[in-house]
Amino acid sequence: MKRTFTKHWNDYELIDAGNQEKLERWGDIITIRPDMNAYFKAILSEKEWRNKAHFEFVESSKSSGTWQALKKGPPTKWAINFKQLTLNIELTKFKHVGIFPEQRVNWDFIADNLNDGDRFLNLFAYTGAASIAARAKGADVFHCDSVKQVISWGNENMQSSGLSDIHWIHEDALKFAQREIKRGKKYNGIVMDPPAFGIGAKKQRWKIENKFPELLAAALELKEPGGFIVINTYSPRLDEEKIRKITKELVAHEKVEVTTLSMRTTTGKTLEYGLRTIITG
């Protein structure tokens, strides 16, 4: 499997990983979070991790937990910068903090491949780092997510970055995409970041391995000729072989690249995040 490596930047550093956890720096704040992909041994000792970290996430279930402060006084909400963008960070009970830093490679890709006035669609858009990266290039941005709170968070990121006029859509991503097809809409760039399993706006459950062909088919219909599609997936049930089989059936003339999205820690370990599928042409 070919890897695509994403990079640190001034306000983000993956310091170390191992023992199913990762040690990360967000601006001046350092956190310890669980990560099942860090199945190997860490370079730094547990004592070194805890001496560095301000917060540690302690799981109470597979989907939630609490943050424990390891030092006195650090804020639980703050902001970091990525180039000209401002991203608001908050410690949530789901171990997330508001951005997925491994997606930096996609933000760079968006900046390199969108022009002023292009139409851009972000599906399963979360707090909108990709959306504001596209808006910063002058694109007409449509941001769709089924969770109201993360749309509000995305709006805060847009305003903090000195931007405006993103179209915020609170809706099931696939249903919105299918409606856009019926309306005859087209996009120069489409990014989607579907979870391994999900619940739509009307509480309907679905799994990415079942929905991937439908999502890809919709994106292909919405893509302008010469445009791009970026899909990030995180389920072991949707591996590279399955993605290549599905894209072979659905993609006619475009170029398809499937790689493992990865990042190197400062200590030299490689952490994998899932599969990144890019369709261009």
Beta-carbon contacts of residue 203 (< 8 Å; ≥ 6 apart): none
Q: Residue 26: what pLDDT?
A: 98
281 residues of the chain, pLDDT tens digit each: 799 999 999 999 999 999 999 999 999 999 999 999 999 999 999 999 999 999 999 999 877 899 999 999 999 999 999 999 999 999 999 999 999 999 999 999 999 999 999 999 999 999 999 999 999 999 999 999 999 999 999 999 999 999 999 999 999 999 999 999 999 999 999 999 998 776 655 666 778 888 999 999 999 999 999 999 999 999 989 999 999 999 999 999 999 999 999 999 999 999 999 999 999 99
Q: Residue 197: what pLDDT?
A: 75
> Which domains are delineated in the chain?
10-80 (2.60.40.1180), 98-280 (3.40.50.150)
Q: Read off the pTM.
A: 0.94
